[in-house]
A and B are shown apart, each in its own frame.
Chain A
Amino acid sequence: MPFLQLANVRKLYPNAAAAAVENFSLDVEAGEFVSLLGPSGCGKTTTLRMIAGFETLTAGQIVMDGKAIEEMRPNQRNIGMVFQSYALFPNMTVADNIGFGLSVGGSAKAAIQQRVREMLALIKLEELGARYPYQLSGGQQQRVALARALAIRPKLLLLDEPLSALDAKIRVALRNDIRAIQRKLGITTLYVTHDQEEALSLSDRVVVMNHGLIEQVGNPFEIYNFPRTTYVAQFVGTLNLLDAVVVEPTAGSVQIQGQPAHTTSLAGCSQGEQIRLALRPELLALKSTGQADENRLAGVVETIAFLGAVVRIQVRVGEALLALDEFNNPQLAVPAVGSPVFVYFARSSCLKLL
């Protein structure tokens, strides 16, 4: 039995036209790190808040560790939560913040002090126990918030966009720390973010949400390489979307902007059907010749953007604009804007989207 089970969860706010969360079902195994990914307003935070107990369910059930928790008050659930705005208590020192949950729970003073020391060591801020939150940087404050949530030995850890308020470098460092701590403690974790890179790099599984509904659940590899819907494909990473016409479904042949091509994902399509194919920029290559089973589209270079490790080239193919990524190296021969080129890609790399 999964550790956390959400079954047909629905949330409809009073006077709202549509449900914020609709028919949300998800099983999370013990020790798993699951991210809820989607744009703002997609219902991911509402879902997290329903698990925490800050929002009531309109319908559905949430079971944690074999117990239905949707009727329990937030302070009875034993779920640790980390907020985007840190939410440290400004009147308390770092140590008092971390020890707050234990002191509320009636733990002995010595036990609290011991646990606070453990937590400070875990977040590598042993020296800062006597400081007040306003004396810490954003990254340090969020570490303390994490320690505070973990100090009560929660059954489940919820993180609501914990890195959004931090700058890029600290975000990456803290992201790695969060994952390392989660692995070390083996705590079941739900992580809400709108940042696909964060979700893909941290999670065992990613839940992509849109308009209150789950679009796809899968591990990062599946989500990135095999997006099921146009929405997932577009939200996760950069993507080329190409309109195509099915020529011969059994042979996998299609026409893209009047040029012949092949794909391996035409199951269930009929001849003459208009379909949409998705191609990741890194799966396209500019070459003079390719292998026999590769697709080849002729086009003209429209723009070239230097992104550091990667050079992004946009090629006009008929009416479509294809973005493709080349790894940068000093010997890279970048074509001139306006020059005619051939874009090659494997048949298996174009995905038909729902």
Chain B
Amino acid sequence: MRRINWFAWLWFTLGALYFVLPLWGTLIFSLQKRRGVLSLDAYSAALGDPRFVETFVFSNFMAICTILASLLLIVPTAYWVHLHLPRWRPVVEFVSLLPFVIPAIVLVFGFIKLYSKPIVLLGIPLFPSLTTSNLSTNLLLIAGYTVLSLPYMYRAVDNGLRAMDVGTLTEAAQSLGAGWWTILWRVILPNLRTALLSGALLTFAIVVGELTIATFLARPAFGPYLALLGNHRAYEPAALAIVSFLLTWVAMGLIDRVTRGTRDVVAGSH
């Protein structure tokens, strides 16, 4: 019989407690809105608030737009770097990590300073102020979110590209008559499916809870709503925190399911 490693179990238990206890506390607290009994009052109040629905839908929409924007930006870039500029890979990797170093507050102030007045280059107006209309500010918000998601999305795509023989697959497709877009769409993207899904779900998680950029651009996003609620209410933020956790776990479960389904295909290709 194998000996039980008590030391390993001790650390595992400590780690689990560190993670579970606050969550357990939050859950119990969120159920105590009605004095003396456990109830779902905080949940019905939080989820029934029209501002919750409004901000949640807005942030989800922004997240989808961000995922599309970062896919459009990152997949062709990473593919091209892999194929033709392998020496530039460390540089691109460094750039992709910058959002970890530069705080969101710096980014958003940079945005506001640069884009709140019309951009004029050598006397030629390039584009008007981007902070004056909701649509253009939303575009700025998506741009900001795209920057924040860069480290996760780039890494996911880069890992996916490393796992396949990009050069030879591209050449094989070219010799069969395919052009760049056909290759990207029919050969590269389908084989990046797992990587793209992981990147997309991480981006989704970041965008839906993001506070700083949305606050300073004054957009009705879910992050600022949660912060506002936290300032004025006690139980509802706890309820929403639990809901957010559940959503994240569902997302992680999805990643795991999809990854498990395709791992054999990718591994078997080499």
Taking Cβ atoms with an 8 Å cutoff, the residues of A that contact B are 52-54, 73-81, 83, 85, 87-91, 100-101, 104-105, 132-135, 145, 148-149, 152
Contact = CB atoms under 8 A, between A and B. Distances in A.
A101 B186 CA distance: 12
Interface string B149-177: 00000000000000011001101111111
B267 interface: yes
A76 B266 CA distance: 29
Interface string B233-270: 00000000000000000000000000000001111110
Contacts of B172: 81, 83, 87-89, 145, 148
B175 A133 contact: no
A132 B262 CA distance: 12
A81 B171 contact: yes
A100 B170 CA distance: 13
A152 B176 contact: yes
Contact of A90 (B174, B178, B186, B265): B265
A254 B171 CA distance: 55
Contact of A88 (B178, B186, B269): B269
Contacts of A79: 175
Given A90-B191, A101-B176, A104-B177, A83 B168 contact: yes
A73 to B, nearest CB: 8
Which DSSP category, helix, strand, loop or mixed, fits chain B's interface? helix
A135 B268 contact: yes
B136 interface: no
Closest 9 CB pairs of A and B: A134-B268, A90-B269, A101-B176, A87-B172, A91-B190, A81-B175, A74-B174, A87-B168, A104-B178
B182 interface: yes
Nearest to A83: B168
Given A52-B171, A105-B177, 13 more contacts: A75-B176, A75-B179, A77-B175, A81-B175, A83-B171, A85-B168, A87-B165, A87-B168, A89-B169, A89-B186, A91-B193, A149-B176, A152-B176
Interface in B23-81: none
13 contacts: A53-B174, A54-B174, A75-B176, A75-B177, A78-B177, A80-B176, A90-B265, A90-B266, A91-B190, A133-B268, A134-B265, A149-B175, A149-B176
**Residue among B172, B178, B268 having the largest count of chain A Cβ atoms under 10 Å:** B172
Contacts of A88: 172, 269
Given A89-B187, A101-B177, A104-B182, A132 B171 contact: no
Contacts of A149: 175-176
A74 B175 CA distance: 6
Contact of B269 (A77, A80, A83, A133): A133
A80 B176 CA distance: 7
Contact of A91 (B179, B182, B191): B191
Contacts of B190: 91
Given A87-B169, A104-B182, A75 B175 contact: yes
Contacts of B193: 91
A139 to B, nearest CB: 15
A62 to B, nearest CB: 15
B176 A148 contact: yes
Contacts of A78: 177
Contacts of B171: 52, 54, 74, 81, 83, 87
A134 B177 contact: no
A89 B268 CA distance: 11
Contacts of B168: 83, 85, 87
A78 B175 CA distance: 7
B268 A132 contact: yes
Contacts of A90: 164, 191, 265-266, 268-269
A38 B217 CA distance: 65
Interface in B183-221: 186-187, 190-191, 193
Contacts of B187: 89, 91
A52 B169 contact: no
A85 B176 CA distance: 16
A88 B169 CA distance: 7
A76 B176 CA distance: 9
A36 to B, nearest CB: 17
A134 B174 CA distance: 22
Given A52-B175, A79-B175, A104-B182, A85 B165 contact: yes
A134 B175 contact: no
Nearest to B180: A75
B219 to A, nearest CB: 38
B86 to A, nearest CB: 14
A57 to B, nearest CB: 17
Contacts of B179: 75
Contacts of A73: 174
A105 B182 CA distance: 11
A101 B171 CA distance: 12
A89 B173 contact: yes
B176 A134 contact: no
A100 B176 contact: yes
